Amino acid sequence: MASIDFYAAGNTIATSGLGFFGGSFGQAVEINQFQDSTFITDSAGTLQGAAVNNIKYSTDTKAFSPGIVPATGIHRIPNDKATLNVRFTHSSAVRTQNCKLRIFDRVNKDFAASGVITRVAELLHTSASYDVEGSGDTTWYGSATGAGSPNPSDRLSAGTNTVGGSGIVVPLAQSPGPSGHYAGNGGSNTGQYTQHDWYLAITASPDSIGSKTQYGLYVELEYL
């Protein structure tokens, strides 16, 4: 039996999701600025759950991250400071491949969410130290210099730099194993495990006023 579950700062995200806010829960993020706090919340962003690790875009290669000042290279952020942990489990040991993440409009996985800019980076960093370089992404997907930018989706304004739909899809490590320990450089491992963990930095910025509720995350993979 296979399942995909989501965790944030050790908390299970079941029927809820993540919300990106200003300085505190419920506070709006300024247009064209990135969030200052991240919480587990409901689909409308009105029910306050646990505060989780907030990783905020700084430059195309750096982020503001918990427990360190100033901004640091995203490949230096430890797995345990990730915004989100995606976990795949199976009753038998399997390897995973063609793992992908999308940000979508909660209707069709190929449709980009509108009204909000999203940037994503995979963390491959099992050390707890920011002084160590991980082997994860060095540039944010969805940034101006990220792979595939600008997003070619015709649902977005020309020149929009954001992860979204089938336009910019984030590839994830192959067979990372439990706690992502066996991920290596992300593409070389073929080991089989009953659990696979991916760690993600996610940052968001509204480009118009109002809550963005048609906004979801979709993960797909193959296992064998």
pLDDT confidence of residue 117: 98
Q: Would you state the pLDDT for residue 76?
A: 98
Q: In the chain, which residues have pLDDT < 50?
A: none
| pLDDT tens digits along 39-61 | 999 989 999 999 999 999 999 99
- Percentage of the chain modeled with pLDDT above 90: 97
Whole-number pLDDT of residue 14 = 78
Average pLDDT taken over every residue of the chain: 96
What per-residue confidence (pLDDT) applies to 20?
98
pLDDT for res 108:
98
Name the residue range of residue 53's domain.
2-223
Query: pLDDT for 78-100, tens place per residue?
Result: 999 999 999 999 999 999 999 99
Cα distances from 26 to residues 36, 188, 207, 211, in angstroms, run 11, 42, 18, 10
Considering its fold, how many domains does the chain have in total?
1
